[in-house]
């Protein structure tokens, strides 16, 4: 129990914290009022990685590739979340550009009220906090600190491609709930390393970490 207390003290100040469905959030004073969870889905402390999820899937798995993806077995055979017929199976489109609750790993695992942040909410976090490369509890990551003094720590754990984790100690890859509408085989994510943090896009079949958000 003492170890957990030390972890939270290093990674997230306690002012403005609360709980939703038993999971803790911190108020960073962001313009939209978005509240950020203090740990990842599947983790029980701020420096824990938790599970890896493909975009639109709600459970971790052993292999992340097109052969194992729930919504299509190739980049141009998508069966859900596809706005362009050239990417859809037999020309399928549905014009869905944001994860529905049943396909959101945060909602599915933590309950109603929690969800994966949109790419705009990730950008808000980047724009309205200062962040630095940080070492916490034997884990590298980025510490985001808001003007109200509150902070969250996001550990880096690389991403899953096929059956392997790549760049586990140098890259942080966190899904957003937003689809890349230009190329719907890609999902938007937050990409962080020691020298930068930014939003980007990558193949939705790959396994990335999930940090939930909520609103009061």
Strand ranges across the sheet with 151-155: 129-136, 139-146, 151-155
Question: Which pLDDT belongs to residue 152?
Answer: 98
Q: Which helix (H) or strand (E) holds 4?
A: helix 2-11
pLDDT score recorded for residue 52: 98
Looking at residue 4, what is its pLDDT?
Answer: 31
CB 144 within 8 A of CB 12: no
- Please write the tens of the pLDDT for every residue from 119-139: 999 999 999 999 999 999 999
Q: Which run of H or of E encompasses 6?
A: helix 2-11
pLDDT for the residue numbered 93: 97
Which domain range does residue 151 map to? 2-214
Q: How far apart are CA 105 and CA 56, in angstroms?
A: 7
Q: How many domains, the chain? A: 1
> How far is residue 75 from each of residues 111, 183, 198, measured CA to CA in Å?
30, 9, 24
109-121 pLDDT, tens digit per residue, is 999 999 999 999 9
Confidence (pLDDT) at 15: 62
Token couple for 94? 């549905």
State the sign of the Cα–Cα–Cα–Cα dihedral 141, 29, 109, 58: negative
Beta bridge partners of residue 161, listed in sequence order: 164
Phi-psi label, residue 96: left if phi above 0, alpha if psi -120 to 50, beta otherwise: beta
CA–CA separation, 200 vs 67, rounded Å?
Answer: 24
C-alpha span between 150 and 14 (Å, rounded): 7
The residue ranges of the chain whose pLDDT is under 50 are 1-13
Q: Is the dihedral of CA 206, 59, 19, 6 positive or negative?
A: negative
């Amino acid at each position: 129990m003492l170890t957990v207390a030390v972890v939270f003290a290093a990674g997230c100040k306690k002012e403005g914290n609360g709980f939703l469905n038993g999971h803790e959030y911190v108020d960073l004073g962001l313009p939209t009022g978005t509240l950020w969870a203090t740990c990842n889905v599947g983790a029980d402390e701020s420096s824990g990685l938790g599970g890896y999820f493909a975009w639109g899937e709600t459970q971790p798995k052993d292999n992340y590739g097109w052969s194992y993806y729930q919504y299509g077995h190739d980049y141009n055979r998508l069966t859900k979340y596809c706005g362009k017929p050239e990417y859809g199976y037999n020309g399928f489109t549905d014009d869905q550009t944001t994860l529905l609750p049943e396909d959101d790993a945060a909602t599915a695992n933590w309950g109603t009220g929690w969800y994966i942040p949109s790419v705009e909410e990730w950008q808000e976090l980047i724009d309205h906090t200062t962040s630095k490369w940080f070492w916490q509890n034997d884990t590298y990551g980025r510490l985001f600190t808001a003007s109200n003094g509150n902070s969250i720590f996001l550990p880096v754990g690389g991403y899953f491609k096929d059956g392997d984790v790549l760049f586990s100690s140098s890259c942080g890859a966190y899904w957003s709930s937003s689809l890349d509408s230009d190329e719907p085989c890609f999902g938007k994510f937050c990409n962080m390393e020691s020298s930068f943090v930014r939003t980007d896009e990558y193949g939705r079949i790959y396994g990335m970490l999930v940090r939930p958000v909520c609103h009061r």
